[in-house]
Amino acid sequence: MMPDSPPATACGASPTICVAQLGARRQYSVPRVLYAAGMLERLFTDATGTGRCMGVLRTLPVRWRPAGLKRLLGRVPARLPLGRITAFQRLGWEYAWRIWRASGREEQIRSNLWAGQKISRLAAEAGVGEAAGVYTFNSAGLELLEYARRHGLTCLVEQTCAPAEVYDRLLSAERDAYPGWERTGSSGTAGEAFAAREKAEWEAADMILCGSDFVRRGIKEVGGPAERCMVVPYGVETNSLPPAPAKPDGPLRVLICGQVSLMKGAPYAVAAARALRGMAEFRWIGGVSLLPTAAASIREHINLRGIIPRTFMPGEYRWPDVFLLPTISEGSAAVCYEAMATGLPVIATTNAGSVVRDGMDGFIVPIRDPEAIAGKLELLARDRELRQWMSNNARERGREFTLKKYGERLVATLRTTMERTVRAT
């Protein structure tokens, strides 16, 4: 049963927040920021890489660890005391099992819905202590938000990506344009339930945090409360991201990161690479979700490097001259922040949720426009001075989007919202 009595905030103390999240979500950046500001009551999450059981699994040689176990062992809520963490380990293992068994997109969405409902209910049943608010993420917070509203707490939702309705529309258009590139499958009634759950969470929220204006526009597009949306760009750890060294003369080196898929813009990246054959080299880091024939056509023009552990990524950013993200839909891609921090000009689409300033730190191009991508890359390949100028600008811009700066923006926004909701009650 869920607790019926409302929690109380101690007089004179900073108001605290309970965070509920599935997975590591940007290396637990939200609870870490709140804890550093003295505002974290508790983190509710699923399986983490901590605890006695995980200690035993860490004794396995790395070469014997399956990919899923490697990812799980990487879920370490750094700089958070264990006493502030409630990890529902069984939920995490069952969620991973359901996703592994899912045979299509509708089953995957049903697994996501199940996990979102489960963690939300478990968090509400555990109680939120003396928290004055709750912070949840899209599709994984409705029951906790409803509990919080009953007790007069501030309700905060982070919409990490475009709304499901917007994403499904974009995906459908890509699959129609490129049949045979990916396995097809409808989201069915599960997709409708997912979209309805997102909307219910928005209605329960005092504020909806968006990583980019693209996300906020998507909420408005599907009839959501855009007036309660606040855009708070993210930030990344930059200590392990040294400036990229000067590159030798030769073809322009172009790096792409993320799943090799239709929604990451694979057809447009390969079209640009084909147009720039001999002038540019392309690498793509990430898992491949394309069917074999489509993947083979990509490999003719782009070096697909597969999945790289995050600890290896700083070294990967030392190779390119330019970073490219031809994505069709993104919340606000961390890879763009990281690339800028190393001094790489970034070419990203209008839907990437990027903080890149067009013409200064790189270029913003329309989605589904390989000619625009190729044209900007050719310009940077031919004009080394422009490339260096943009590199310097990107590095300076990147300093505004560190994890510390993100924390300052997020905490200021949350405090203002909590003060407003307290006054309103």
Tell me the mean pLDDT per 10 residues along the chain, length 425.
41 80 92 96 88 56 58 73 92 91 91 97 96 97 97 96 96 95 87 97 98 97 97 88 74 97 97 96 95 95 90 88 97 94 96 96 98 98 96 95 95 92 64
Q: For residue 286, what pLDDT is reported?
A: 94
* 386 backbone φψ class: left, alpha, beta (φ>0; ψ -120 to 50): alpha
- Please tell me the distance from the alpha carbon of residue 325 to that of residue 365, in angstroms, as a whole number: 10
Q: For residue 231, what pLDDT is reported?
A: 97
CATH code linked to domain 17-235+403-424: 3.40.50.2000
- Residue pair 29/53 in contact by the 8 Å Cβ criterion: no
Q: How far from chain centre, in Å, is Cα 99?
A: 19
Q: For residue 313, what pLDDT is reported?
A: 86
- Please tell me the distance from the alpha carbon of residue 249 to that of residue 257, in angstroms, as a whole number: 23
Q: Could you tell me which CATH class the domain 252-401 is placed in?
A: alpha beta
- Please tell me the distance from the alpha carbon of residue 335 to that of residue 324, in angstroms, as a whole number: 10
Query: What's the predicted TM-score (pTM) here?
Result: 0.90
3-state secondary structure the chain: CCCCCCCCCCCCCCCCEEEEECCCHHHHHHHHHHHHCCCEEEEEECCCCCCHHHHHHCCCCHHHCCHHHHHHHCCCCCCCCHHHEEECHHHHHHHHHHHHHCCCHHHHHHHHHHHHHHHHHHHHHHCCCCCCEEEEECCCCHHHHHHHHHCCCEEEEEECCCCHHHHHHHHHHHHHHCCCCCCCCCCHHHHHHHHHHHHHHHHHCCEEEECCHHHHHHHHHCCCCHHHEEECCCCECCCCCCCCCCCCCCCEEEEEECCECCCCCHHHHHHHHHHCCCCEEEEEECCECCCHHHHHHHHCCCEEEECCCHHHHHHHCCCCCEEEECCCCCCCCHHHHHHHHCCCCEEEECCCCCCCCECCCEEEECCCCHHHHHHHHHHHHHCHHHHHHHHHHHHHHHHHHEHHHHHHHHHHHHHHHHHHHHHHC
CB atoms within 10 A of CB 12: 5
**Residue 2 structure tokens:** 């869920």
Domains 17-235+403-424 and 252-401 share a fold: yes
Q: For residue 1, what pLDDT is reported?
A: 40
Q: For residue 2, what pLDDT is reported?
A: 42
CA nearest neighbour of 155 among 121, 103, 204? 204
Domain boundaries, given as residue ranges, for the chain = 17-235+403-424, 252-401
Q: For residue 243, what pLDDT is reported?
A: 74
Q: For residue 7, what pLDDT is reported?
A: 42
- Please tell me the distance from the alpha carbon of residue 70 to that of residue 60, in angstroms, as a whole number: 11
